[in-house]
């Protein structure tokens, strides 16, 4: 089994396991430690979210290039995901006085799915990172800005991999930009 396949399977197991964690934490907390239903559900939201966040990061951490920007965005995504979660919670609570519990559960579900979806975009590697990972970029190599294909030695400014057509000044401009990016990333990494 390849590494990627085992990560995908673990992700699937995580999504199936999350409701189990939710139920177990609810039954442990409710009645024994916490008196009200709403608080027990809120605490179970917290426990399950923590489980998902930790497991998700553990599964994918080696696949992600952890720049300072990505770390910050991952945390910001957690805060951003609170907005739709609270909105959904408010809307459901407003429509009926008797479904507060449902509002809490769906609000938690909403937070987890929004955060997970955001991490997929935040953690995705850029064309430049892909090129570096594949060893296709050295300081002087010209890589296709669109797909990272090494265009060194070509007699035309058209990428044979993705078909994007460039002008020479575009390629030189992007080469300078990339050198600046590399420099900035090296400074950030320090």
By C-beta, is 47 or 171 nearer to Zn ion? 171
Residue 4 Cβ, how far from Zn ion at the closest point, in Å?
Answer: 22
CA distance 181 to 67: 12
Lay out the site mask for Zn ion across 141-180 (x = CB under 5 A, - = otherwise). ---x-xx-x---------x-xx------------------
CA distance 16 to 12: 6
Lay out the site mask for Zn ion across 109-148 (x = CB under 5 A, - = otherwise). -----------------------------------x-xx-
> Any long-range contacts for 86-93 (C-beta under 8 Å, 24+ apart)?
none
CA angle 67, 45, 93 (to 5 degrees): 115
Residue 128 Cβ, how far from Zn ion at the closest point, in Å?
Answer: 12
Q: Going by C-beta distance under 8 Å and a sequence separation of 6 or more, which residues neighbour residue 141?
A: 150, 151, 152
- Site residues for Zn ion per CB under 5 A: 144, 146-147, 149, 159, 161-162
């Amino acid at each position: 089994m390849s590494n990627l396949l085992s990560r995908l399977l673990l992700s699937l197991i995580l999504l199936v396991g999350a409701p189990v964690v939710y139920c177990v934490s609810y039954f442990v907390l409710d009645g024994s430690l916490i008196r009200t239903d709403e608080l027990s559900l809120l605490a179970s939201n917290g426990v399950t979210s923590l489980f998902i966040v930790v497991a998700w990061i553990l599964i994918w951490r080696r696949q992600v290039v952890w720049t300072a920007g990505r770390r910050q965005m991952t945390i910001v995504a957690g805060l951003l995901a609170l907005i739709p979660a609270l909105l959904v919670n408010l809307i459901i609570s407003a429509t009926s006085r008797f479904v507060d519990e449902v509002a809490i559960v769906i609000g938690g579900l909403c937070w987890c799915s929004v955060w997970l979806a955001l991490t997929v975009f935040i953690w995705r590697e850029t064309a430049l990172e892909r090129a570096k990972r594949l060893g296709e970029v050295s300081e002087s190599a010209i890589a296709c800005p669109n797909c990272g294909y090494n265009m060194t030695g070509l007699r035309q400014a058209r990428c044979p991999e993705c078909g994007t057509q460039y002008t020479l000044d575009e390629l030189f401009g992007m080469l300078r930009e990339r050198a600046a990016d590399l420099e900035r990333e090296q400074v950030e990494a320090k």
